[in-house]
Amino acid sequence: MSDQIKKLAPLIWSEIQKASKILMHCHRNPDGDSVGGVLASKFALESLGKSVTVIWGDSPPPTTLSSVPGYASILRKNWFEINPTDFDLFLAQDSSSLGQISNLGEVKFPENLTVIVIDHHVTNDNYGKINLVGPSYPAVCQILYDLFSLWDIKLTPDIALCLFTGIYTDTGGFKYPLVTKETFQIAAKLAETGADFPKLIFEMENSQDPKSIEYMGMFFSSVEHYFGGNVAVCSITRQQLLEKQIDLDIDVPELANAIKSAVGNEIGISLTEKDQDVIRVSMRTRGNKYDLSKIAVATGAGGGHPVAAGATIKKPMAEAKKFLLETIQKVYPDLGRP
């Protein structure tokens, strides 16, 4: 447990005590850490008698996470479809910037709304009254575990499943560098509640869209190598999806991770066209030679971690790819020309 958590836990606790109506959101393209984290917090805060509202935010609910307890209780609303003055506390989790809360307009907080940020992205903008940002933590859900234990929140099987979802997915299944013995110890503590983790993992990893196989085939066969083979890029456009009659909202997770799994692909990049001329960039790296969060921030619309980062580039695919490669070259001139 970090010293920062020990220091901030009582301050956050006192804000929670003062609040009665609490708001949370899922970040754009919500992952297991976002969804598991807000639902774990929802269960915990409700056990304290608080009224808690969670919204999906900008993106549609990811079907692969539908087995996470509480999933159906999240409202299909974005930031601009609620009235933030109806709440007295906003707990912003796993969101490094206001753009992660919504990109549909400028997110402004009313004066009566206390904002607390709980995050583990090194790129966090610290936009809260209290900012608990722990970049040494592999998942927000692991930060929440520490907070809940300091606050004496009783771990139920539902809370355990939610926290496990975030820890398991944000560590790629206990594989990423920030995993420590504490991560495994926490997983063991969560398992002691009797929560059925294998069932949850099966549901998460085996509920893909049937078209995802065709999607992956198209996606991976687009691979191109740059910077002397160090950077491998795969991409897919909406036009290609339309031609193959694949749902435009299809979301196949961790594709960049699969690209970087091949020897020599120091950086794996996936480019997917989420809306017309809106390219979602996801980057993963094999080692610690490159800090991908720097590249993501340098695009002007991204953030993340050293080994896993993302960005959104509003350009047609070919231009977005060119812009991204130029950005990589600027951040790491030693790589040479694309």
List interacting residues with Mn ion (CB under 5 A): 33, 94, 140, 170
Minimum Å gap between C-beta 296 and Mn ion is 14
For Mn ion, give the closer residue by CB, 141 or 335: 141
For Mn ion, give the closer residue by CB, 132 or 325: 132
For Mn ion, give the closer residue by CB, 70 or 310: 310
Residue 322's CB: how many other CB atoms inside 10 A? 13
For Mn ion, give the closer residue by CB, 148 or 219: 148
Q: What is the DSSP secondary-structure string of 269-316?
A: EEEEEEETTEEEEEEEESSSS--HHHHHHHTTSEEE-SSEEEEEE-S-
Q: What is the DSSP secondary-structure string of 124-164?
A: ----SSEEEE-TTSS-HHHHHHHHHHHTT----HHHHHHHH
Minimum Å gap between C-beta 125 and Mn ion is 16
For Mn ion, give the closer residue by CB, 22 or 35: 35
- Residue 254 to residues 5, 54, 282, Cα–Cα distance (Å): 29, 25, 8
For Mn ion, give the closer residue by CB, 251 or 273: 251
Minimum Å gap between C-beta 141 and Mn ion is 8
**Tokens standing for residue 216:** 């992956």
For Mn ion, give the closer residue by CB, 140 or 311: 140
Closest CA to 197 of 87, 205, 88: 205
For Mn ion, give the closer residue by CB, 94 or 251: 94
Minimum Å gap between C-beta 33 and Mn ion is 3
Query: Could you tell me whether strands 51-55 and 21-25 are parallel, antiparallel, or unpaired per DSSP bridges?
Result: parallel
Minimum Å gap between C-beta 59 and Mn ion is 15
Minimum Å gap between C-beta 245 and Mn ion is 33
Minimum Å gap between C-beta 273 and Mn ion is 24
Distance CA 179, CA 319 (A): 37
- Residue 263 to residues 4, 16, 260, 287, Cα–Cα distance (Å): 38, 48, 7, 11
Minimum Å gap between C-beta 94 and Mn ion is 4
Distance CA 94, CA 268 (A): 23
Distance CA 274, CA 250 (A): 9
Q: What is the distance of C-alpha 246 from the center of its chain?
A: 24
3-class DSSP state of 198: helix
The CB-nearest residue to Mn ion is: 33
8 A C-beta contact, residue 24 and residue 36: no
Task: Return the ∠ at Cα 306 (arms to 301 and 307), rounded to 5°.
Answer: 105
